[in-house]
Structures are given as C-alpha cells and as structure tokens.
Amino acid sequence: MNIALKPMLEVADLDPALAGFLAQAAAQGNPPIESLPPAIARQIYRGMADSLGLPAPVIGKVEDATCPGPAGALPLRIYSPQTGGVNTPLPVLLFLHGGGFVIGDLETHDKVCRTLCHYAGMVVVAVDYRLAPEHPFPAAVDDAEAALRWVLDHATVLGGDASRIAVAGDSAGAQLALVAARCVRAANVRALGMIYPVAQHPDEPSPSYAENDGKFLTTGVMQWFMGSYLGGQAEVLKHPDYALLKSGGFEALPATWVGTMGHDPLRDEGHALALRIASAGVAVAHHHYPSAIHACIHFTAVSPVGLAVMTDLGQWLRENV
C-alpha cells in the first residue's frame, strides 16, 4: 500500500555542523576534484570517508570474496551481523556504493555497510563494480545485475534466506540498485533502498541544483562524473538504465525506500523519482532530511544526520524484507 508522498518538501536551514564543515573545506582552497586524475580523486574519497565517519558498530564477521562478472571476477565484501548464536537464515542485502560511477569502492563504503548490517540485521554483500572512465556505461550496470543474480543464487551459502533479498545503494549506486532490481525482476527481491539517487543528467538541472551547488556536491563534479560514465555515448542520455526519470517499468520494482537531503543538488530528482515509482503502484517510503547535504552518510563524525539516514533505512529494511 502506498503512503501519501508530499508534493512539496520540508525546508530547513543547513545543519550548523555541516555548514561549518563546508566552510572549513572551502577555506582550504583545494583544487576541484574533477581537475584531478581519477586515481587521486579515488584516494581522496577513501581518506575522507575514513576520517569523517564515526567508528562503525561491531558486527559478527567480514569476509572478502569474488563472484563472476561479465568481464571477470568482481570483488565482494560480505558483512554478517552478530546473531547471538541463533542460526536462523538472515535476509541478504546487496549494496552498491556511490561515487559518481568514478570514485567509490569497497573501502569508501566499508563503514556504511557495517552500519547497515548492524541496524538492518542482514547479511550485506558489497560489490566493487567497474568504474568509469576506464569502464564507461554499461559496465557498472552489467556488473550490478551480475552481482544481484549471484546473491539470489548463493544466499543460502552466505547463511542467508534466498527468499528475502534486498538491494540498496547511495547516489550513483542507488541508480544501479534500481536498474538491477528492475532488470532482474525476481520475486525474492523484496525491497529497494535508495539514498540520494542520481536520476537525470546535470545538463537538465532541477531547481535544487541552483539552490545547492557547492554544498559539497557541485555541478562541475557531476558533469565530470556523468561525462566519464557516458564515455561520449550520446545515446545513453535517453537510455532507461541511465535516464531514470525518462524511463518506465517501475511497476516491476519491489517496495522502495527513498532518502533525499534538503541541501543536495540531487534533491528534486530524487523526490521526482519517488513520486514516479509510487504512481506506478509501488509501495514507497520517502524520507526527507531537510537540513542534510549529499554524502552525509560519510560524515557521521561531523553531524548525526548521516547516521539517522542509515538507521532509518536499516529499520525499514528490517520491517520490509
């Protein structure tokens, strides 16, 4: 059953701690990330995620593994919660990291996955899909689909319940999560979680771009990300696996959770996506965080709002998978 989604989003001032963080970052005068080689940008992202996040909750175990992918083995990291000795099979969550299809990896989202593992009480499988510009569209899409099919086939081996699968991601990873769920269309995939999803190209900006440009995420870096991902393939601008707001097939999605941030350039497209999915008859829970910025799930040592996002998603997954 759908919840009533609000046509207008709540407005609030920027979280004071996040405002201070942004001011401090601006004062450092670092070069724009889009001006750096991808390898350096990736290193900076790893360092930021490690230094600005609180220690993750204690979980049961973490293991590195691989699964077959379209172009070779895909690295995985598998997180299992503490069970207190109870051996009941747990639901399994495939998590697809953000980073604009260019700079994220297993390390940037290690704390995120540990946190979701703890609060959702699920086995979490994180996948290190191929990145642009070395591997442009559709490499990441193909890897996300392969990883989801692997999770469906191997959930029991992981100590999971093959009938209770979910897929989630943040930013670019949220787009990949939706695309994988829509492509696979498995009844066992019971839930989709999206934190500040990418749903359209920055050359078609919604009003939230102008309002929030430079609040961590900039139009410049988004153009670099998307240019790298598209790899000069103009036809991808209309492809349903990229331009979500121009696509359909949402009726095939499972119950969906969408989180949007009030001071995020992607706020409006995430809200529009939630409305589109709900209009297709899917049960949608839209959580809006009016004082938050993009990437706040990494900044839990700066402000508690990022942890609130993850705990809200984790609780929703507990109740819906």
Annotated catalytic residue 171: yes
Whether residue 25 is contained in a domain is answered as yes
Residue with tokens 């899409």: 141
Q: How confident is the model at residue 7 (pLDDT cuts 50, 70, 90)?
A: confident
C-alpha span between 187 and 56 (Å, rounded) = 32
The string of DSSP letters for 212-264 reads: HTTBSB-HHHHHHHHHHHHTT-GGGGG-TTT-GGG---GGG--EEEEEEETT-
**Residues 119-129, mean pLDDT to the nearest whole number:** 98
Share of the chain above pLDDT 70, in %: 99
Q: How confident is the model at residue 2 (pLDDT cuts 50, 70, 90)?
A: very low
Query: DSSP alpha helices (H): ranges in the chain?
Result: 16-27, 38-51, 110-120, 139-154, 172-184, 207-212, 219-230, 267-279, 305-320
Quote the number of domains for the chain. 1
Eight-class DSSP state of 296: G
Q: Report whether pLDDT(223) > 80.
A: yes
Q: What is the mean pLDDT of the chain?
A: 96
- What pLDDT, on a 0 to 100 scale, did the predictor assign at position 1? 36
Whether residue 9 is contained in a domain is answered as no
Q: Which of 80, 171, 208, 303 is catalytic?
A: 171
Whether residue 3 is contained in a domain is answered as no
Whether residue 169 is contained in a domain is answered as yes
CA-closest candidate to residue 116, choices 307, 319, 251: 307
Whether residue 276 is contained in a domain is answered as yes
With a CB cutoff of 8 Å and minimum separation 6, the contacts of 275 are: 5, 7
**Residues 121-127, mean pLDDT to the nearest whole number:** 98
Q: What is the pLDDT of residues 253-279, one digit of tens each?
A: 999 999 999 999 999 999 999 999 999
Q: Report whether pLDDT(4) > 80.
A: no
What range defines the domain where residue 168 resides?
20-320
Q: Report whether pLDDT(203) > 80.
A: yes
C-alpha span between 28 and 1 (Å, rounded) = 48
As a 3-state breakdown, the chain gives helix, strand, coil percent values, each rounded to 5, of 40, 20, 40
Whether residue 258 is contained in a domain is answered as yes
Number of helices (H) and strands (E) in the chain: give both, helices first. 9, 8
CATH number at residue 168: 3.40.50.1820
Among 4-18, 50-64, 86-100, 224-238, name the one with the lowest average pLDDT: 4-18
Q: Report whether pLDDT(314) > 80.
A: yes
Whether residue 11 is contained in a domain is answered as no
- What pLDDT, on a 0 to 100 scale, did the predictor assign at position 85? 75
Contact 222, 294 (CB under 8 A): no
Whether residue 10 is contained in a domain is answered as no
Q: How confident is the model at residue 159 (pLDDT cuts 50, 70, 90)?
A: very high
Share of the chain above pLDDT 90, in %: 96
Q: What is the pLDDT of residues 163-193, one digit of tens each?
A: 999 999 999 999 999 999 999 999 999 999 9
Q: What is the pLDDT of residues 134-146, one digit of tens each?
A: 999 999 999 999 9
